[in-house]
Amino acid sequence: MKVSITVNGTRQEKDVEPRTLLVHFLRDRLQLTGTNIGCDTSSCGACTIHLDGEAVKSCTMLAAQADGGKVTTIEGLSKDGVMHPMQQAFMENHGLQCGYCTPGMVMASIGLLKENPNPTEEEVRLGLEGNLCRCTGYHNIVKSVLAAAKK
């Protein structure tokens, strides 16, 4: 089947199998490999992207479900070589180590601040309940998001 998805501002029309997950569409068809796959049960959030401005797990959607939608991936965040304030906050606060959960974590964090621009620490922790990280113990991720909120 044909799908047409605007990804990071560029319209992408592709023929896909119906079973193609959105994350496979991004990674395998568009070579946007920044979006990672960490589980098979929608638990880890590594594949989080924005669909029409909202954080969603791209492993739990068919590409067909995103047909006609606007997708932003981690590759689409920086503008003119300058990182998004959330990316900068993660860098400044050592909010990442191995970096595998990071794209999903950043996308989820941006989504979080969009819905709650001035969260408490507890709200940040709860807001990121759907994203797992094995390296940082979350301490500096939470710090990064709080710092980004102040920017």
Partner 1 sequence: MIPAAFDYKRASSAAEAISLVGQYGDEAKFLAGGHSLIPLMKLRLAQPAMLIDIGRIKDLSYIKDGGDFIAIGALTRHMDVEKSALVLKEVPLLAHAAGYVGDAQVRHRGTIGGSLAHADSASDLPATTLALGATYVVQGPKGERLMAAADFYKGFLESALQPDEMLTEIRVPKMNGAKWGFEKFNRRAQDWAIVGVAAWRSKDASGVALVNMGSTPILATSVSAALKSGASVADAAQLASNEAEPQDDLNASSEYRVHLAKVLVRRALEKASA
Partner 2 sequence: MTMTENRQNTVIGTRQLRREDPALLTGEAKFTNDLNLPGALHLSILRSPHAHAKIVSIDTAAAKASPGVIAVYTGAELQSQWAGPMPCAWPVTPDMKNPPHFPLAASKVCYVGDGVVAVLATSESASRDALDLIDVEYKVLKAVVDVEEALSDANIIHEDLGTNKSYTWNLKIEATEGCVENAFQKAAFKVSERYVQQRLLPMAMEPRAVAAVPQPFGGDITLYSSTQIPHILKVMAALTLGIPEHQVRVVAPSVGGGFGSKLDVYAEELLCMALARMHNLPVRWVEERSENSMATIHGRGQVQYVELAADKSGKLTAVRVRIKADMGAYLQLVTPGVPILGAFLYAGVYDIPLAYDFSCDGIFTTLTPTDAYRGAGRPEATYAIECAMDALARQMKIDPLELRKRNFIQKEQFPYTAFSGLTYDSGDHLQAAEKAAGLADYVGIRTKQAKQNVAGAKKRLGIGMTSYFEMCGLAPSRVLASLDYGAGGWEAATVRILPTCKVQVVTGTSPHGQGHETSWAMIASEKLGIPQEDIDVLHSDTAISPLGLDTYGSRSLAVGGVAVAGACDKVIDKARLIAAHQLECSADDLEFAGGVFSVKGSPDRAVPMAAIAFAAFTAHNLPDGLEPNLEAQYSYDPPNFSWPFGTHMCVLEVDTETGKIEILKYVAVDDCGVQINPLIVDGQVHGGVIQGLAQALFEEAVYDSDGNLKTTTLAEYLVPAASDVPSITTAHTVTPSPTNQLGVKGIGEAGTIGAASTVINAIIDALSGLGVTEMPMPASPQTVWRAIQSAAQAK
Query: Which residues are near partner 1 by CB under 8 A?
Result: 1, 17-19, 21, 24, 37, 40-43, 45, 48, 51, 54-57, 59-62, 64-65, 108, 111-112, 115, 126-127, 129-131
φ, ψ dihedrals at 108, nearest 5°: -65, -40
- Which partner from the list partner 2, partner 1, none does 110 bind, CB cut-off 5 to 8 Å by kind? none
φ, ψ dihedrals at 15, nearest 5°: -90, 125
Q: Which residues bind partner 2 (CB under 8 A)?
A: 17, 19, 27, 31-44, 46, 73-75, 77-78, 83, 87, 90-92, 94, 96-103, 106, 121, 124-126, 128-142
Q: Give the residues across from 48 on adjacent strands.
A: 57
The Cα–Cα gap between 79 and 77 comes to: 6
Query: Would you say 4 or 94 has its CB closer to partner 1?
Result: 4
Between CA 55 and CA 66, with CA 109 as vertex, the angle to 5 degrees is 15
Query: Would you say 40 or 80 has its CB closer to partner 1?
Result: 40
Query: Would you say 113 or 128 has its CB closer to partner 2?
Result: 128
With contact defined as beta carbons under 8 Å apart, do 140 and 95 qualify?
yes
φ, ψ dihedrals at 65, nearest 5°: -75, -20
Query: Would you say 68 or 134 has its CB closer to partner 2?
Result: 134
